[in-house]
Amino acid sequence: MKTDGAEVLSKTVTQDEAAILDAWNVALLEGTSLQSGRIREAELQTQVKTVFGQLRDALASGGLDADAAGFASLRETLADISRSRAIQGFTPTDTANFVFSLKEPIFDALKRMPDGDATALAAGVWAAGKVLDRLGLQTMEVFLASREEVIGRQGQEIAELSTPVVRLWDGILALPLIGTLDSARTGVVMENLLQAIVDEEAEIAIIDITGVPTVDTLVAQHLLKTVAAARLMGADCIVSGIRPQIAQTMVHLGVELNVVSKATLADAFAVALKRTGRKVVRQQASTEGRR
Protein backbone atom coordinates (compact mmCIF):
# COMPACT_ATOMS: atom_id res chain seq x y z
CA MET A 1 0.00 0.00 0.00
CA LYS A 2 1.30 3.40 -0.91
CA THR A 3 1.51 5.72 2.04
CA ASP A 4 0.15 9.20 1.44
CA GLY A 5 2.52 11.75 3.01
CA ALA A 6 -0.07 14.47 2.99
CA GLU A 7 -2.48 12.37 4.98
CA VAL A 8 0.13 11.36 7.53
CA LEU A 9 1.23 14.94 7.92
CA SER A 10 -2.29 16.30 8.24
CA LYS A 11 -3.17 13.71 10.85
CA THR A 12 -0.05 14.35 12.91
CA VAL A 13 -0.45 18.09 12.79
CA THR A 14 -4.07 17.84 13.95
CA GLN A 15 -3.44 15.31 16.69
CA ASP A 16 -0.26 16.73 18.10
CA GLU A 17 -1.18 20.37 17.75
CA ALA A 18 -0.44 21.49 21.30
CA ALA A 19 3.00 19.89 21.45
CA ILE A 20 4.05 21.24 18.06
CA LEU A 21 2.88 24.75 18.96
CA ASP A 22 4.82 24.68 22.22
CA ALA A 23 7.99 23.45 20.55
CA TRP A 24 7.66 26.04 17.78
CA ASN A 25 7.19 28.82 20.31
CA VAL A 26 10.30 27.71 22.17
CA ALA A 27 12.30 27.59 18.94
CA LEU A 28 11.15 31.09 18.02
CA LEU A 29 11.88 32.45 21.50
CA GLU A 30 15.40 31.12 21.27
CA GLY A 31 15.82 32.72 17.88
CA THR A 32 17.11 36.22 17.46
CA SER A 33 13.94 37.89 16.31
CA LEU A 34 12.59 38.42 19.83
CA GLN A 35 15.92 39.38 21.34
CA SER A 36 16.35 42.22 18.88
CA GLY A 37 13.26 43.73 20.53
CA ARG A 38 11.56 44.47 17.24
CA ILE A 39 8.51 42.38 18.09
CA ARG A 40 6.70 41.60 21.33
CA GLU A 41 6.17 38.09 22.59
CA ALA A 42 2.40 38.39 22.60
CA GLU A 43 2.39 39.55 18.98
CA LEU A 44 4.67 36.70 17.98
CA GLN A 45 2.39 34.18 19.67
CA THR A 46 -0.66 35.51 17.89
CA GLN A 47 1.17 35.15 14.58
CA VAL A 48 2.22 31.61 15.50
CA LYS A 49 -1.33 30.60 16.38
CA THR A 50 -2.85 32.09 13.24
CA VAL A 51 -0.25 30.59 10.93
CA PHE A 52 -0.44 27.18 12.54
CA GLY A 53 -4.23 27.09 12.47
CA GLN A 54 -4.28 28.02 8.81
CA LEU A 55 -1.58 25.44 8.03
CA ARG A 56 -3.63 22.76 9.74
CA ASP A 57 -6.76 23.69 7.81
CA ALA A 58 -4.85 23.90 4.55
CA LEU A 59 -3.33 20.46 5.07
CA ALA A 60 -6.71 19.07 5.99
CA SER A 61 -8.16 20.42 2.77
CA GLY A 62 -5.82 18.01 1.04
CA GLY A 63 -2.78 18.28 -1.13
CA LEU A 64 0.74 19.49 -0.56
CA ASP A 65 0.76 22.10 -3.28
CA ALA A 66 1.41 25.35 -1.43
CA ASP A 67 0.22 27.28 -4.49
CA ALA A 68 -3.20 25.62 -4.37
CA ALA A 69 -6.39 27.40 -3.37
CA GLY A 70 -6.54 25.64 0.02
CA PHE A 71 -3.39 27.50 1.05
CA ALA A 72 -4.58 30.93 -0.05
CA SER A 73 -5.37 32.34 3.39
CA LEU A 74 -2.13 30.94 4.83
CA ARG A 75 -0.14 32.52 2.01
CA GLU A 76 -1.84 35.83 2.67
CA THR A 77 -1.09 35.75 6.38
CA LEU A 78 2.55 34.87 5.74
CA ALA A 79 2.82 37.65 3.19
CA ASP A 80 1.44 40.16 5.71
CA ILE A 81 3.85 38.97 8.38
CA SER A 82 6.86 39.08 6.14
CA ARG A 83 5.89 42.48 4.73
CA SER A 84 5.61 43.97 8.20
CA ARG A 85 8.95 42.37 9.12
CA ALA A 86 10.63 43.87 6.09
CA ILE A 87 9.42 47.31 7.17
CA GLN A 88 10.40 46.70 10.82
CA GLY A 89 13.92 45.92 9.66
CA PHE A 90 14.21 42.20 10.40
CA THR A 91 17.08 40.32 8.80
CA PRO A 92 16.21 37.91 6.00
CA THR A 93 17.36 35.00 8.22
CA ASP A 94 14.95 35.95 10.99
CA THR A 95 12.10 36.20 8.55
CA ALA A 96 12.82 32.88 6.86
CA ASN A 97 13.39 31.17 10.20
CA PHE A 98 9.87 32.03 11.26
CA VAL A 99 8.66 29.34 8.88
CA PHE A 100 11.70 27.06 8.87
CA SER A 101 11.77 26.70 12.67
CA LEU A 102 8.46 24.89 12.39
CA LYS A 103 10.24 21.98 10.72
CA GLU A 104 11.82 20.44 13.79
CA PRO A 105 8.65 20.37 15.92
CA ILE A 106 6.73 18.73 13.10
CA PHE A 107 9.48 16.18 12.43
CA ASP A 108 9.53 15.37 16.15
CA ALA A 109 5.78 14.95 16.18
CA LEU A 110 5.98 12.62 13.19
CA LYS A 111 8.55 10.52 15.05
CA ARG A 112 6.17 10.25 18.01
CA MET A 113 3.46 8.71 15.83
CA PRO A 114 1.90 5.76 17.66
CA ASP A 115 1.86 3.38 14.71
CA GLY A 116 5.47 4.18 13.87
CA ASP A 117 6.25 2.46 10.62
CA ALA A 118 9.26 3.73 8.67
CA THR A 119 7.51 4.25 5.34
CA ALA A 120 4.84 6.51 6.85
CA LEU A 121 7.49 8.46 8.75
CA ALA A 122 9.58 9.01 5.63
CA ALA A 123 6.55 10.04 3.61
CA GLY A 124 5.39 12.41 6.36
CA VAL A 125 8.83 14.03 6.69
CA TRP A 126 9.09 14.49 2.93
CA ALA A 127 5.62 16.04 2.80
CA ALA A 128 6.36 18.41 5.68
CA GLY A 129 9.68 19.43 4.14
CA LYS A 130 8.08 20.11 0.79
CA VAL A 131 5.29 22.30 2.15
CA LEU A 132 7.42 24.24 4.62
CA ASP A 133 10.20 24.88 2.11
CA ARG A 134 7.73 26.26 -0.38
CA LEU A 135 6.10 28.46 2.27
CA GLY A 136 9.50 29.66 3.46
CA LEU A 137 10.49 30.61 -0.07
CA GLN A 138 7.26 32.51 -0.55
CA THR A 139 7.88 34.37 2.66
CA MET A 140 11.30 35.39 1.38
CA GLU A 141 9.89 36.49 -1.93
CA VAL A 142 7.41 38.81 -0.25
CA PHE A 143 10.13 40.00 2.11
CA LEU A 144 12.41 40.95 -0.76
CA ALA A 145 9.60 42.57 -2.74
CA SER A 146 8.69 44.73 0.26
CA ARG A 147 12.33 45.71 0.76
CA GLU A 148 12.60 46.68 -2.89
CA GLU A 149 9.45 48.74 -2.56
CA VAL A 150 10.98 50.58 0.39
CA ILE A 151 14.20 51.18 -1.56
CA GLY A 152 12.27 52.43 -4.58
CA ARG A 153 10.31 54.87 -2.47
CA GLN A 154 13.48 56.15 -0.83
CA GLY A 155 15.06 56.65 -4.25
CA GLN A 156 12.08 58.72 -5.28
CA GLU A 157 12.26 60.77 -2.10
CA ILE A 158 15.96 61.43 -2.65
CA ALA A 159 15.23 62.55 -6.19
CA GLU A 160 12.68 65.01 -4.88
CA LEU A 161 14.89 66.24 -2.08
CA SER A 162 17.88 66.74 -4.34
CA THR A 163 16.14 69.21 -6.62
CA PRO A 164 15.33 72.21 -4.48
CA VAL A 165 14.41 75.53 -5.98
CA VAL A 166 15.85 78.39 -3.95
CA ARG A 167 14.60 81.95 -3.99
CA LEU A 168 17.64 84.22 -4.09
CA TRP A 169 15.83 87.52 -4.41
CA ASP A 170 12.50 88.88 -5.54
CA GLY A 171 11.97 87.28 -8.90
CA ILE A 172 15.31 85.48 -8.98
CA LEU A 173 15.39 81.72 -8.46
CA ALA A 174 18.34 79.37 -8.17
CA LEU A 175 18.24 75.69 -8.98
CA PRO A 176 21.33 73.95 -7.63
CA LEU A 177 21.54 70.59 -9.37
CA ILE A 178 23.42 67.78 -7.65
CA GLY A 179 24.01 64.37 -9.17
CA THR A 180 23.48 62.97 -12.61
CA LEU A 181 20.66 64.30 -14.73
CA ASP A 182 18.61 61.54 -16.31
CA SER A 183 15.32 62.01 -18.04
CA ALA A 184 13.23 61.02 -15.00
CA ARG A 185 15.04 63.56 -12.86
CA THR A 186 14.87 66.22 -15.52
CA GLY A 187 11.11 65.81 -15.41
CA VAL A 188 11.04 66.44 -11.65
CA VAL A 189 13.46 69.34 -11.96
CA MET A 190 11.44 70.92 -14.74
CA GLU A 191 8.16 70.61 -12.88
CA ASN A 192 9.62 72.02 -9.67
CA LEU A 193 11.25 74.92 -11.47
CA LEU A 194 8.19 75.86 -13.51
CA GLN A 195 5.92 75.68 -10.46
CA ALA A 196 8.35 77.86 -8.53
CA ILE A 197 8.41 80.35 -11.40
CA VAL A 198 4.64 80.63 -11.16
CA ASP A 199 4.61 80.81 -7.36
CA GLU A 200 7.38 83.38 -7.04
CA GLU A 201 6.54 85.27 -10.22
CA ALA A 202 10.19 84.87 -11.13
CA GLU A 203 11.82 86.61 -14.05
CA ILE A 204 15.17 84.87 -13.93
CA ALA A 205 16.18 81.34 -13.00
CA ILE A 206 19.79 80.37 -12.42
CA ILE A 207 20.55 76.70 -13.03
CA ASP A 208 23.73 75.83 -11.16
CA ILE A 209 25.38 72.62 -12.31
CA THR A 210 28.39 72.66 -9.97
CA GLY A 211 27.18 69.36 -8.52
CA VAL A 212 26.65 67.63 -11.85
CA PRO A 213 29.61 65.29 -12.33
CA THR A 214 29.46 64.87 -16.08
CA VAL A 215 27.80 66.74 -18.87
CA ASP A 216 27.34 64.73 -22.04
CA THR A 217 25.10 65.36 -24.99
CA LEU A 218 22.12 63.85 -23.19
CA VAL A 219 22.51 65.96 -20.07
CA ALA A 220 22.99 69.04 -22.24
CA GLN A 221 19.79 68.22 -24.06
CA HIS A 222 17.95 67.88 -20.75
CA LEU A 223 19.32 71.24 -19.63
CA LEU A 224 18.24 72.89 -22.86
CA LYS A 225 14.76 71.44 -22.49
CA THR A 226 14.49 72.89 -19.01
CA VAL A 227 15.70 76.27 -20.26
CA ALA A 228 13.22 76.19 -23.16
CA ALA A 229 10.32 75.34 -20.85
CA ALA A 230 11.24 78.15 -18.48
CA ARG A 231 11.39 80.56 -21.43
CA LEU A 232 7.90 79.53 -22.46
CA MET A 233 6.77 80.60 -19.00
CA GLY A 234 8.36 83.98 -19.55
CA ALA A 235 11.47 83.46 -17.42
CA ASP A 236 15.07 83.75 -18.56
CA CYS A 237 17.61 81.11 -17.60
CA ILE A 238 21.28 81.43 -16.78
CA VAL A 239 23.44 78.33 -16.47
CA SER A 240 26.26 78.58 -13.96
CA GLY A 241 28.89 76.41 -12.33
CA ILE A 242 30.33 74.74 -15.38
CA ARG A 243 33.71 73.45 -14.19
CA PRO A 244 36.76 73.93 -16.44
CA GLN A 245 37.15 70.24 -17.28
CA ILE A 246 33.48 69.95 -18.06
CA ALA A 247 33.63 73.02 -20.28
CA GLN A 248 36.52 71.40 -22.18
CA THR A 249 34.72 68.08 -22.49
CA MET A 250 31.61 69.82 -23.73
CA VAL A 251 33.50 71.68 -26.42
CA HIS A 252 35.34 68.52 -27.48
CA LEU A 253 32.07 66.62 -27.67
CA GLY A 254 30.57 69.41 -29.71
CA VAL A 255 27.87 70.04 -27.12
CA GLU A 256 26.53 73.54 -27.37
CA LEU A 257 24.50 75.25 -24.70
CA ASN A 258 22.86 78.15 -26.44
CA VAL A 259 22.08 79.95 -23.23
CA VAL A 260 23.77 82.57 -21.14
CA SER A 261 26.34 80.77 -19.03
CA LYS A 262 28.54 82.01 -16.23
CA ALA A 263 31.39 80.36 -14.40
CA THR A 264 30.01 80.72 -10.89
CA LEU A 265 26.69 81.18 -9.20
CA ALA A 266 27.89 84.56 -7.90
CA ASP A 267 28.53 85.82 -11.45
CA ALA A 268 25.15 84.58 -12.57
CA PHE A 269 23.47 86.27 -9.61
CA ALA A 270 25.20 89.55 -10.48
CA VAL A 271 23.87 89.30 -14.04
CA ALA A 272 20.40 88.51 -12.72
CA LEU A 273 20.44 91.50 -10.40
CA LYS A 274 21.60 93.76 -13.21
CA ARG A 275 18.87 92.55 -15.54
CA THR A 276 16.21 93.18 -12.94
CA GLY A 277 17.60 96.69 -12.49
CA ARG A 278 19.38 96.20 -9.19
CA LYS A 279 22.88 96.77 -8.04
CA VAL A 280 24.94 95.64 -5.09
CA VAL A 281 27.07 98.37 -3.55
CA ARG A 282 29.37 98.57 -0.60
CA GLN A 283 27.78 100.53 2.22
CA GLN A 284 30.96 102.37 3.12
CA ALA A 285 34.01 101.96 0.97
CA SER A 286 36.44 102.11 3.88
CA THR A 287 34.92 99.79 6.49
CA GLU A 288 35.61 96.10 6.85
CA GLY A 289 34.07 95.10 3.54
CA ARG A 290 30.57 94.07 4.45
CA ARG A 291 28.15 94.47 1.65
Partner 1 sequence: MDRIPILKLGGALIVTIQVDMHDRLALALEEDLTAMIARTGARGVLIEISALEIVDSFIGRMLVSIAAVSRVLDAETVVAGMRPAVAITLVELGLELTGIKTALNVERGMALIQARLSDEDDGHGSDRDRHED
Reference 132, options 109, 90, 98, 81; nearest CA is 98
Contact region with partner 1 (CB under 8 A), list: 40-48, 173-181, 186-194, 245-253: 186-194
In this chain, which of 28, 78, 125, 190 binds partner 1, going by CB under 8 A?
Answer: 190
> How many binding residues for partner 1 (CB under 8 A)?
19
- Of residues 225 through 254, those in contact with partner 1 by CB under 8 A are 225, 228-235
> In this complex, which beta carbon is closest to partner 1, that of residue 58 or of residue 194?
194
Residues 126/7, Cβ–Cβ less than 8 Å: no
Helices (DSSP H) in 61-161: which residue ranges?
72-88, 92-100, 103-111, 118-161
The contacts of residue 273 (CB under 8 Å, 6+ apart) are 169, 172, 279, 280
* CB-nearer residue toward partner 1: 149 or 160: 160
Nearer Cβ to partner 1 (64/202): 202
Does 194 bind partner 1 (CB under 8 A)? Our answer is yes
Residue 203 binds to partner 1 (criterion: CB under 8 A): yes
CB of 177 to partner 1, least distance (A): 17
Mark the segment that binds partner 1 (CB under 8 A) among 11-19, 64-72, 112-120, 190-198: 190-198
Judged by CB under 8 A, the residue of 68, 150, 158, 198 near partner 1 is: 198
Q: What is the DSSP string of 22-76?
A: HHHHHHHHHSHHHHTTSS-HHHHHHHHHHHHHHHHHHHHT----TTSGGGHHHHH
**Phi-psi category of residue 219: left, alpha or beta, with phi > 0 → left and psi -120 to 50 → alpha:** alpha
Positions in the binding site for partner 1 (CB under 8 A): 187, 190-191, 194-195, 197-198, 201-203, 225, 228-235
